[in-house]
Amino acid sequence: TVVKVCPNDKDAKAKFEECQKIVRRQAFERAISVDHDKKSVSESVDVNAMAVEDAYDGPHLQETISKEFMMDLIQKFKEQKKLHKKYAFKMLLDFFAYVKSLPTMVEIEVPAGKKFTICGDVHGQFYDLINIFEINGFPSETNPYLFNGDFVDRGSFSVETIFTMIGFKLLYPNHFFMSRGNHESDVMNKMYGFEGEVKAKYSQQMSEFFTEIFCFLPLCHLINKKIFVCHGGLFKEDSVTLDDIRKTDRNRQPPDEGIMCDLLWFV
């Protein structure tokens, strides 16, 4: 669409051509693949088999996430240290199981007079994210947040950003909310840095798992039945209803048009 509107924009042309290469490569890989029924990464990850080395000095995750674990994790991230892969994968497995149970449109009830904070794109800026928390208060049952997509890409600390958000979502599932943005998608992560960052800090397997997980993030939220929040915008078709959104299958990469496309992209 951008190339059609701005046919002489060199940057748009370059990005479009890169997208086309990725699409063609993926189509070729699907065509030659003999594994059409590929299993979820979650089925191949065995956290119990992952040993935690004695030299590891980061936070240790028990059965469930605690506030103390989150504060320790944030401190280690500030020091630019990594969470051990055993605990990172455990968080992802727990988060994956949880987001799969969510509806496409999550409905939130905020009591009258209570504070509720909505934040836009963070884009891998971990230190900005923590600055928000230090100024506005850390997430809690009395200080709820909704982050409205584009958690990763562009910034150099997308891994730290997304694990901080996942941790708070697991700690406060009814008071910390996350909507999918257009950058929670495979093509964007390949082009804008998240895939490469995950591979560098962890592994290809984890990168593939994030691709799966992002497909189950809710597409939008409805607050008190009257405030509609999504990353992109409203719809090209005026006839779209809330029930149409509820029925939208989000477990996929963003399409080029339709309800899901409009919710994730502003055109």
Domain boundaries, the chain: 1-36, 39-264
Catalytic residues: 183
Give the model's pLDDT for residue 138: 98
Angstrom distance (rounded) from CA 29 to CA 114: 51
Buried residues in 161-197 as b, exposed as e (16+ CB within 10 A): bbbbbbbbbbbbeebbbbbbbbbbbbbbbbbbbbbeb
Angstrom distance (rounded) from CA 78 to CA 59: 13
Residues of the chain with pLDDT under 70: 33-37, 267
Give the model's pLDDT for residue 91: 98
Give the model's pLDDT for residue 37: 61
Residues linked to residue 143 through DSSP beta bridges, in sequence order = 140
Q: Are the beta carbons of 181 and 154 closer than 8 angstroms? A: no
Kindly report, residue by residue over 158-192, the tens digit of the pLDDT. Answer: 999 999 999 999 999 999 999 999 999 999 999 99
pLDDT > 70 in the chain, percent: 97
Give the model's pLDDT for residue 157: 98
Architecture in CATH for domain 39-264: 4-Layer Sandwich (3.60)
Give the model's pLDDT for residue 36: 53
Kindly report, residue by residue over 65-97, the tens digit of the pLDDT. Answer: 999 999 999 999 999 999 999 999 999 999 999
